[in-house]
Amino acid sequence: MLDGNDDFYKDLIDNLYDGVYFVDRERMINYWNKGAERITGYEADKVVGRYCRDNILNHVTANGTQLCMTNCPLAACMQDGNIREAEVFLHHADGHRVPVIVRAAPLRDKQGNIIGAVETFSNNAAFITTRRELREMRHNAFTDRLTDIGNRRYLEGRLRAVIADFNHTNGGGAGLLFIDVDHFKNINDAYGHEVGDKVLHMVASSLKHNLRATDMLGRWGGEEFIAIVYDTPDARALEEIASKLLALVGCSRLDLESQSLAVTISIGATLLRTDDTPESFVKRADQLLYQSKQAGRNRVTIG
């Protein structure tokens, strides 16, 4: 604990950017630094001598659970001597909530007895903003902006992962669907690229919403899509999934001002083999897709 003879340490702690306060065993606040004043809006003379259990800061979690009365980090660390850390939202003197990272640690006397605790806290807004920006950057890096599904970079990573998993589990069963929108150039020529973009988005949405949650979908490029499907023990199971997608895309309609536009897709489907690389896996499915095109389109070829 700090007292009147500890001016050196008081000045040192007062100049910290983080908020710092000390409590005794009864959780009465006996020191409140300048950082705590700045972050909370509460001046030391309004806080020192009061109990943190009076809910001055009124810490809550992201879902609104109150901590001061039930799960107080300070009380917990004084009970078992272990340091606690948490992301919480404190009550500012102006009424709003401030995101902070708190760290509570026990204070001991020379004999090792716990005589109180210290809590440090720092404004977490910058960290939350940075984390959100990183999450958005990651999303943008692996998402096709036009269709809002995975992009080629995303698919290449998933292909490496599925092959590594397949080899590790000695053949867990996975398949690949190489999908192409039939006569897409004709659509762009007849209706323009804006309509063509809407068609790609419609097809991507139909595929995405009708694959299973465990399957992966992405835009390979142009009007080509790839779906990686898991838990496909044999060609029949893979064909059932592909045929479902074929039918549902064929039933989709893009409503234009004067008409509705429908499209079909062609699919090449293949199961993962023990000697496959990402390149051989995709190449085989692409060759099967070509066979579907040659056979008249709007069909699935399994191989």
DSSP category for residue 246: H
The structure's pTM equals 0.60
- Whether the Cβ atoms of residue 44 and residue 30 lie closer than 8 Å to each other: no
Q: Catalytic site residues?
A: 223
Report all structural domains of the chain as residue ranges with CATH numbers, in order of start: 7-129 (3.30.450.20), 143-302 (3.30.70.270)
- The predicted model gives 83-89 an average pLDDT of 89
- Rounded to the nearest integer, the mean pLDDT of the chain is 88
Confidence at residue 21, expressed as pLDDT on a 0 to 100 scale: 92
Structural tokens at position 85: 């850390």
The whole-number pLDDT of residue 217 equals 96
pLDDT above 60: residue 235? yes
| Euclidean distance between the first and the last CA atom of the chain, given in angstroms as a whole number | 75
pLDDT on residue 180? 97
Measure the CA dihedral 185/191/195/200, to 10°: -20
* Identity of residue 188: N
pLDDT at residue 205, rounded to an integer:
94
pLDDT range class, residue 283, cuts 50, 70, 90 = very high
What is the average per-residue pLDDT within 226-239? 93
To 5 degrees, how large is the angle CA 6–CA 7–CA 12? 105
To which residue do tokens 């708190």 refer? Answer: 102
* Model confidence band, residue 52 (pLDDT cutoffs 50, 70, 90): confident
Per-residue pLDDT tens for 194-230? 999 999 999 999 999 999 989 999 999 999 999 999 9
What is the helix (H) or strand (E) element at residue 248, kind and residue range? helix 235-250
Task: Look at residue 140 in the predicted model and tell me its pLDDT.
Answer: 75
Is pLDDT at 257 greater than 90 in this prediction? no
For residue 76, give the nearest of 52, 56, 50, 48 by alpha carbon.
Answer: 52
Q: Which amino acid appears at position 187 of this protein?
A: I
Q: Is residue 99 within 8 Å of 123, Cβ to Cβ?
A: yes
Q: How far apart are CA 280 and CA 271, in angstroms?
A: 11
Calpha distance 221→84 (Å, rounded): 49
Task: Please say if the pLDDT value at position 276 is more than 60.
Answer: yes
